[in-house]
């Protein structure tokens, strides 16, 4: 930030744009329907104001909804088609560090210069026409409109759109004629908005189906699949079930995103890509699901290092001893994804214990768990690895559904957390950008973190398995006496007034004990993942 004439800090042009974007965040709860900017019917007015009707109709769109895996599916699909030689546009959410992550051109976040040009073009036109009847659009609606403007102006060959929430009333659903639609794995999430049953949730996701447009989905629970089939039948939509990718088709290479569940997403991405190629005249027929080989471009697209931060991502701390403090980041926030996250973490740390550690290179936040190198060829471990949980989730989610799944799945793999740390998010809900300052530690309401702690302590009382009793030294006892750092420390957990104070405690603990390595699973919230990445990049 520059200095103003009076000595005050002057925001940069980018920060000014983020402040304007922040003004569109008008409420804390997404379930609150009191804001007119969220009325779906208004989207057509916004599209007209921005003169986007014709440009949107000209875009060759792949539209993807789902509960789990839709971001990964979109990322794989973009990479495949980019490796096929097409100019790609990818719109995903949420961002973790910089809002420009949501808009990718040819696999790269949009430049600051282009973002500013398109941002103000849209913002100023909407502001000029704003009225009581047509207020400024809400935050996500504006971002979706901005994505359409960017992709149309940049003349992308294909636009891949990830639904933000639900489907039927999502801002991306102004698209009237996509080339193909996809529905990734369905589960329980955002129930305060989408409904309390899988059938209701599936009905909302199926809202992206368009008459006669092919739709593809992965194996779903019966209740969800029945609704998808019913909605498809009503609209004369050819609905195809896609099986997970056979790993043998990758010719010995590894998927660019970590986790066994990614083979489900990769299978859907292959089907979406080949259907898009066929329907746009670049392929005579889509590649059959049970093919014995994949085109080289598809294999490269699936196995290239793709950047999807916060999903099965392993990052060493950017501190004095990065190999001794390693963060395992996964933004799981539904019961099903929590199980997947726990499996990934358990298998990853077992790989780590078998003579592997992270390479201590300068921090690269796009790295994932195959970025490992050999250490200790004699097979002897130099330090005791201890598992720590760093957790927060939105208050609309039920920790009684999330935390037991996490604990039980880890325990089934012989993994037990020595301590769970509960923190508030660093980012504030009504500001976009790292220049916005959160409340100080003394101002933060920690009642939700205390509630999470109670759930965890109760779970631990009923699960005193052997692995949870192992001693890791007196370093944990010191936590109780540090009143400034930990607001409340129990036997198995602690509440911290801020994420920075929790990170500081982790770093200090490593410095105090030369025999410990911390493997910290960070999960429950993508916002928390973004906050951690910002802190450990410093």
Binding residues for Mg(2+): 93, 162, 190
User: Facing residues of 61 across strands?
Assistant: 159
Q: How many degrees, rounded to 5, is the angle at CA 20 between CA 10 and CA 47?
A: 150
The token pair that represents 243 in the structure block = 């099986």
The token pair that represents 112 in the structure block = 């600051």
Compute the distance between CA of residue 45 and CA of residue 134 in angstroms, rounded to an integer.
8
In a 3-state reduction of DSSP, which class is residue 496?
A: coil
Q: Is 129 exposed, middle or buried (0-12, 13-18, 19+ CB in 10 A)?
A: middle
The token pair that represents 348 in the structure block = 């990853």
Compute the distance between CA of residue 293 and CA of residue 246 in angstroms, rounded to an integer.
10
* Residues of the chain by 3-state class (helix, strand, coil), percent to 5: 45, 15, 45
8 Å CB contact between 76 and 266: yes
- Residue ranges for the binding site? 93, 162, 190, 311, 330
In a 3-state reduction of DSSP, which class is residue 25?
A: coil
Compute the distance between CA of residue 245 and CA of residue 240 in angstroms, rounded to an integer.
15
In a 3-state reduction of DSSP, which class is residue 518?
A: strand
| Cis bond before residue 412 (omega within 30° of 0) | no
Q: How many CA within 13 A on the CB side of residue 511?
A: 9
Q: Is 133 exposed, middle or buried (0-12, 13-18, 19+ CB in 10 A)?
A: exposed
User: Facing residues of 400 across strands?
Assistant: none
- Residue ranges for the binding site for ATP? 311, 330
Count of positions (residues) in the chain: 538
8 Å CB contact between 160 and 74: yes
Work out the number of other CB atoms within 10 angstroms of the CB of residue 464: 11
DSSP-derived secondary structure letter, 86: -
The CA-based dihedral angle spanning residues 399, 400, 406, 410, taken in that order and rounded to the nearest 10 degrees: 140
């Amino acid at each position: 930030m520059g200095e103003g004439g009076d000595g005050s800090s002057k925001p940069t042009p980018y920060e000014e744009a983020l402040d304007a974007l922040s003004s569109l965040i008008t409420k804390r709860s997404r379930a609150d329907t009191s804001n007119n900017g969220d009325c779906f019917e208004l989207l057509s007015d916004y599209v007209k104001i921005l003169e986007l009707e014709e440009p949107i109709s000209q875009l060759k769109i792949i539209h993807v909804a789902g509960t789990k895996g839709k971001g990964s599916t979109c990322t794989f699909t973009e990479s495949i088609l980019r490796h096929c030689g097409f100019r790609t546009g990818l719109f995903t959410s949420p961002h973790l560090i910089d809002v420009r992550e949501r808009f990718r051109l040819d696999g790269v976040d949009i430049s600051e210069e282009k973002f500013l040009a398109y941002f103000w073009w849209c913002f100023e036109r909407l502001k000029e026409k704003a009225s009581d009847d047509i207020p400024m659009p809400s935050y996500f609606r504006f971002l979706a409109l901005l994505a359409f403007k960017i992709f149309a102006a940049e003349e992308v060959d294909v636009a891949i759109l990830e639904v933000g929430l639900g489907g039927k009333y999502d801002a991306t659903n102004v698209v009237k004629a996509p080339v193909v639609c996809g529905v990734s794995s369905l589960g329980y999430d955002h129930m305060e908005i989408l409904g309390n049953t899988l059938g209701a949730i599936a009905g909302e996701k199926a809202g992206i189906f368009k008459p006669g447009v092919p739709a593809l989905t992965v194996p779903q629970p019966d209740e969800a699949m029945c609704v998808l089939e019913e909605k498809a039948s009503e609209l004369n939509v050819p609905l195809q079930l896609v099986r997970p990718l056979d790993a043998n088709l990758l010719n010995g290479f590894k998927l660019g995103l970590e986790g066994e569940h990614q083979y489900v997403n990769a299978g859907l991405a292959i089907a979406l890509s080949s259907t898009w190629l066929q329907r746009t005249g670049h392929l005579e027929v889509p590649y059959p699901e049970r093919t014995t080989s994949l085109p080289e471009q598809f294999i490269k697209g699936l196995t290239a290092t793709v950047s999807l931060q916060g999903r099965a991502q392993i990052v060493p701390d950017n501190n004095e001893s990065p190999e001794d403090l390693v963060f395992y980041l996964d933004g799981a926030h539904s019961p099903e994804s929590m199980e997947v996250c726990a499996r990934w973490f358990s298998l990853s740390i077992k790989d780590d214990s078998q003579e592997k550690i992270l390479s201590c290179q300068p921090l690269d936040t796009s790295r994932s768990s195959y970025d490992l190198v050999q250490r200790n060829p004699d097979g002897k471990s130099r330090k005791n690895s201890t598992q720590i949980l760093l957790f927060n989730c939105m208050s609309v989610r039920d920790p009684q559904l999330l935390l037991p799944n996490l604990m039980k799945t880890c325990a089934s793999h012989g993994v037990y957390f020595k301590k769970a740390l509960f923190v508030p998010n660093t980012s504030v809900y009504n500001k976009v950008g790292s220049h916005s300052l959160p409340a100080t530690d003394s101002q933060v309401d920690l009642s939700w973190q205390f509630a999470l702690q109670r759930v965890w302590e109760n779970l631990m009382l009923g699960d005193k398995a052997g692995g949870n009793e192992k001693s890791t030294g007196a370093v944990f006892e010191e936590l109780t006496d540090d009143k400034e750092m930990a607001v409340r420390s129990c036997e198995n957990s602690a509440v911290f007034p801020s994420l920075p104070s929790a990170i500081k405690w982790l770093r200090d603990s490593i410095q105090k004990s030369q025999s410990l390595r911390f493997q910290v699973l960070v999960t429950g919230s993508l916002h928390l993942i973004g906050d951690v990445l910002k802190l450990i990049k410093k």
